[in-house]
Amino acid sequence: MGAFIEKRKVDIWDHRRNTRRPVPGSVRYKVLVNADHRCELCGVDASLRALEVDHIIPKSLGGPDEIDNYQALCYKCNTNKGNRSDIDLRALSEDYDKYETKCIFCNHIEVIAENKLAQAFYDKYPVTKGHILIVPKRHVNGYFDLYQPELNAINRLMRELRTKLMTEDSSITGFNVGTNDGVDAGQAIMHYHLHSIPRREGDAGNPTGGVRGVISE
């Protein structure tokens, strides 16, 4: 073994030091469940290839040990990703604090639920009872400008609120979930927001087509 290490000029166990603190089992379980036990990059099932819990924003670049900064990657995708990134992440933590003083969503005070990166409140002009808007705390215009941890946080909050609404209101039988991205798509407030709209049997004459109904024939 000594001759092997000497030949390679490297400690063959160095890779085990890359993760300073192991991810707790309960957190790992949540990450894998959220990913449906598939790699969130290539989609391979956990039964075919071992999955690892990866920091979306690498720890070496300031990424936090938080559920919304974790993703499930197979060992191949995780190895290929490493701590490389094509964007400058040095000021990312400051970017998350970005807000606009005149934006009504940045300054909304009637928050009904929140986590570190997202918050939710009832729509001022609801389509149905329980119509909720979920927004990132960072001021960002559209869906395609969101960071992956923000998407994780928004989706997690949406699922929690869906469960809460359905527990409190047994008449809810479905949801329309969607977003308007850009003025020509109907976006009126330029701070990304996700609509979660509860639906009930008989609340529309013909619900076939769902969100396609926003464009008249």
Q: pLDDT tens digits for 146-190?
A: 887 788 889 989 999 999 999 999 999 999 999 999 999 999 999
Question: Higher-confidence residue: 14 or 210?
Answer: 210
Q: Provide the pLDDT for residue 62.
A: 80
* C-alpha torsion angle, residues 47, 48, 49, 53 (rounded to 10): -30
pLDDT at residue 80 is higher than 50: yes
Q: Provide the pLDDT for residue 68.
A: 84
Assigned fold of 2-81 = His-Me finger endonuclease fold (3.40.1800)
pLDDT band at 119 (very low <50, low <70, confident <90, very high): very high
**Helix/strand/coil (H/E/C) assignment for every residue in 93-161:** HHHCCCCCCCCCCCCCCCCCEECCCEEEEECCCCCCCCCEEEEECCCCCCHHHCCHHHHHHHHHHHHHH
- Residue limits of CATH 3.30.428.10 in the chain: 96-214
Q: Provide the pLDDT for residue 135.
A: 96
| Lowest-confidence pick of 43-57, 127-141, 189-203 | 43-57
Question: What average pLDDT does this structure show over 46-60?
Answer: 87
Q: Provide the pLDDT for residue 12.
A: 47
pLDDT band at 61 (very low <50, low <70, confident <90, very high): confident
This prediction has a pTM of 0.66
Q: Taking Cα atoms as reference points, which of 93, 15, 88 lies closest to residue 52?
A: 15
- Residue limits of CATH 3.40.1800 in the chain: 2-81
Report the C-alpha gap between 134 and 119 in whole angstroms.
6
Encode 109-147: b = buried (16+ Cβ within 10 Å), e = exposed.
eeeeeebebbbbbeeeeeeeebbbbbbbbbbbebbeebb
Greatest Cα pair distance, the chain, in angstroms, is: 78
Of 102-111, 138-147, 162-171, 203-212, highest mean pLDDT? 162-171
* Residue recorded with tokens 């960002």: 140
* 3-class state of residue 71 by DSSP: strand
Q: Provide the pLDDT for residue 21.
A: 62
Cβ atoms of 189 and 104 closer than 8 Å: yes
Active site residues: 193
- What is the DSSP-derived secondary structure letter of residue 42? T
CATH 3.30.365.10 correct for 96-214: no
Six-digit token string for 198: 């509860």
Give the Cβ contact number of residue 48 at 10 Å: 10
